[in-house]
Amino acid sequence: MSTIAEFVQRLPKAELHLHIEGSLEPELMFRLAQRNGVSLTYDSVEEIRSAYRFSNLQEFLDIYYQGMAVLLHEQDFYDLTWAYIEQCRSNNVVHCEIFFDPQAHTDRGVGFESVVAGISRALQDARDKYSISSRLIMCFLRHLSEERAFASLDEALPYLHLIHGVGLDSSELGHPPEKFERVFAAAHALGLKKVAHAGEEGPPEYVWQALQLLEVARIDHGNRALEDSGLVQALVKSKIPLTVCPLSNLSLGVVDSLENHPLKTMLDAGLLVTINSDDPAYFGGYLNENYLRIAQALKLNASQMSVLAQNSFKASFLSSTEIALRLAEVERCQSHK
Ligand code: ADE
Ligand code: ZN
C-alpha cells in the first residue's frame, strides 16, 4: 500500500492546460531580466511571490503579461520551456499539450519565429532525452480584435508543422467566443485542432458558443457549465472534455475553497474531466500538487485519481494507439497500488 501522494507520483499523466508563459518562475524571471538588461519592478524573488495575490482573472493577467517582458530571444523561450519539461519529469507527466500566447510577444517586437523555435526546440529535446511527447497550441488573446487574431494566424503559416492547434485565452468577460468564429473556421481549414477557455468567469452561454460556433474539441475550465443542466448533458453526450485547474480556480477566486470545488460533481455527472496546472508559477503548484490538493479536499481515492489520469490521455490529441498504450500503463499502476 502506498500513500495517495506516492500513488499520484507514480501515475503516468498528461497535462493538457498549461500556459508556458505561466510556468515562468520568479528565479528564472530574474535571471532572464539580468541576461537581457530588462529592469523589473521587483527587487527580489520574495517580493515577486508576495505580489501573486489575485482576486480575479484580470488581476492575474495584468501581472502575467508584465512578467513576460523578460522573454526576448529564442534561447529565453527554450529555457522557459525546458524548465517546464524538468517539472514534467519530476511530476511524471509523460505527455503535455502546451499553450503559448504569440500576440503577447509579437506586440512587444519579439519575432514569432523566436517564440516558436525556442519552445519547439525544447519540446524536441524533451522527446529525445526523456521520451516526453507534446503538442503545441497557439492561443488568440480574446481581449484583442478578430483582425489581430487573423494577423497572428497569418504569422503562424510558416510554422504550421510545429503547431497542432489553436486556443482562446485572456480576459473572458465581455469577449465571447462568437467574436472569433471566423478565425477559428480559418484555423480549422488549415487542419488545426481547436480548444477554448470558456466558463472560467464567463457564463454558460460562452461554453455553448465555444461548442456550437467554434466547434472546439475541448473546453478549458468550463466550471460555469454546471449552471446549465442542458449544457452538461450536451458535454456528456459529445464527450467533450473539460480541462479543469483546481489551484488556478482557488487563486483567481473561481472557487472560495478547494473543498467547494465542483470537480467531484463534474465526475459524478459523467463529464470527461482532467486535472491541470494552468499557470503553475503563479498559482502555487505543478500537476501533482493539483492532483493531491484536490484529492485531499474532496476525499478522492486512488481509483478516482486513476480515472483522472486516464481521462488526461483520453482527452489528449495523441493517436488512438498511443492513448491505448498510456491507458494500459495507468491500469498497471492502479493494479500495483
Ligand atoms: N492566460 C493564462 N492563464 C489564463 C487563464 N487561467 N484564463 C484565461 N487566460 C489565461
Ligand atoms: Zn488557462
What's phi and psi for 89, nearest 5 deg? -60, -45
* pLDDT over 70, % of the chain: 99
pLDDT one-digit tens code per residue, 170-212: 999 999 999 999 999 999 999 999 999 999 999 999 999 999 9
* CB contact at 8 A, 330 and 313: yes
**Ligand 1 proximity of 22 Cβ (cutoff 6 Å):** yes
Residue 1: predicted pLDDT: 56
Furthest C-alpha separation in the chain: 56
- Rounded to whole angstroms, the Cα distance separating 286 from 178 reads 32
Determine the residue of 101, 138, 169, 252 to mutate for testing ligand 1's pocket, defined as the one with the most ligand atoms within 8 A of the Cβ atom: 169
**What residue has cell string 500537476?**
287
Average pLDDT over the chain, rounded to an integer: 97
Residue 311: predicted pLDDT: 98
Q: Which ligand is nearest to the CA of 60?
A: 1
Residue 269: predicted pLDDT: 98
Indicate whether this model's pTM tops 0.95: yes
Q: Regarding beta strands 242-244 and 218-221, do their DSSP bridges make them parallel or antiparallel, or are they unpaired?
A: parallel
Q: Which long-range contacts (CB under 8 A, 24 or more apart) does 296-302 make?
A: 296/4, 296/258, 297/246, 297/257, 297/258, 297/259, 297/261, 298/258, 298/259, 298/261, 298/263, 298/264, 300/264, 301/4, 302/4, 302/7, 302/334, 302/337
- Rounded to whole angstroms, the Cα distance separating 142 from 209 reads 14
Q: For the chain, how big is the Rg over CA atoms in Å?
A: 19
Report CA(321)–ligand 2 centroid distance (Å): 28
**Ligand 1 proximity of 197 Cβ (cutoff 6 Å):** yes
Domains of the chain are 4-335 (3.20.20.140)
**Ligand 1 proximity of 201 Cβ (cutoff 6 Å):** no
What is the Cβ-side half-sphere exposure of residue 39, based on CA atoms within 13 angstroms? 1
Residue 86: Cβ within 10 Å count: 12
Tell me the DSSP string of 288-318. HHHHHHHHHHHT--HHHHHHHHHHHHHTSSS
pLDDT surpasses 70 at 9: yes
**Ligand 1 proximity of 97 Cβ (cutoff 6 Å):** no
Catalytic-residue membership of 200:
yes
pLDDT surpasses 70 at 6: yes
pLDDT one-digit tens code per residue, 21-43: 999 999 999 999 999 999 999 99
- Rounded to whole angstroms, the Cα distance separating 52 from 63 reads 8
Q: Which long-range contacts (CB under 8 A, 24 or more apart) does 1-4 make?
A: 1/337, 2/337, 4/292, 4/295, 4/296, 4/301, 4/302, 4/305
**What residue has cell string 500500500?**
1
- Bridge partners for 139 per DSSP: 167
- By C-alpha distance, which of 202, 209, 262 is closest to 231? 209
